A and B are shown apart, each in its own frame.
Chain A
Amino acid sequence: QQQVKQSPQSLIVQKGGISIINCAYENTAFDYFPWYQQFPGKGPALLIAIRPDVSEKKEGRFTISFNKSAKQFSLHIMDSQPGDSATYFCAATPYNQGGKLIFGQGTELSVKP
């Protein structure tokens, strides 16, 4: 089953707080896990990505935590800012299927000032 399940569907966080979005997958053939950020009226843009041989990757305020045995990964946004308000999608790419992205359902994040 090529599916990625994402939660929560929506999230409200105060400025300066931590935003956490979770994803789970079933297909063990996934070997690349990117997160995309999408602003209204725009296409998705790559935020950060991880491969299953590492458990964590950090870029600035954004961190991916990856748990291979649980088949789960999450995005943490530290010191959340109103400008982070957007829809976030986790995704996964199956091994040996090029860059075919299987997306989660999305999380609409709103950061309140």
Chain B
Amino acid sequence: GAGVSQSPRYKVTKRGQDVALRCDPISGHVSLYWYRQALGQGPEFLTYFNYEAQQDKSGLPNDRFSAERPEGSISTLTIQRTEQRDSAMYRCASSADLAGRETQYFGPGTRLLVL
């Protein structure tokens, strides 16, 4: 079956522009997570949703970052007024389990480069 998909796979943008990163979770998965992964580092938690409700946004670096999942399926991570330090791989994961003790399936990621 289809796994988690993310688009675009690569995004190059100029400093100050807004970007929107999309995540399509596995069909029926109730939980959706966003992580950021710097080169050579482990993924860093950003935020997560159960259905359409954002449960925890403690990992969002600042108020330029926001995320939504309005219908409990597709999610968008938006970065406003991008800065060079935002350059990273942004990964999405989904899970069938609300308690978070089952497998999180990761997508291929969106590589963001801010010039």
Contact = CB atoms under 8 A, between A and B. Distances in A.
Contacts of B45: 100-102
Interface in A87-102: 89, 91, 93, 97-102
Interface in B11-67: 31, 33, 35, 40-45, 48, 50, 55-56, 59
Contact of B31 (A6, A98, A106): A98
A89 B40 CA distance: 11
Nearest to A99: B100
Interface stretch (B71-79, B80-88, B105-113): B105-113
A106 B41 CA distance: 6
Interface residues on B, range: 20 to 34
A48 to B, nearest CB: 11
Contact of B56 (A51, A98, A104): A98
Interface stretch (A14-22, A37-45, A57-65, A77-85): A37-45
Nearest to B47: A100
Nearest to A102: B45
Interface residues of A, number: 22
B43 A101 contact: yes
Given A93-B100, A93-B101, A98-B56, A43 B107 contact: yes
A43 B109 contact: yes
Contacts of A42: 108
Contact of A105 (B33, B42, B50, B91): B42
Given A42-B108, A43-B108, 7 more contacts: A97-B100, A98-B48, A101-B45, A102-B45, A103-B44, A104-B42, A106-B41
Interface of B: 4, 31, 33, 35, 40-45, 48, 50, 55-56, 59, 91, 93, 95, 97-109
Interface of A: 6, 32, 41-46, 51, 89, 91, 93, 97-106
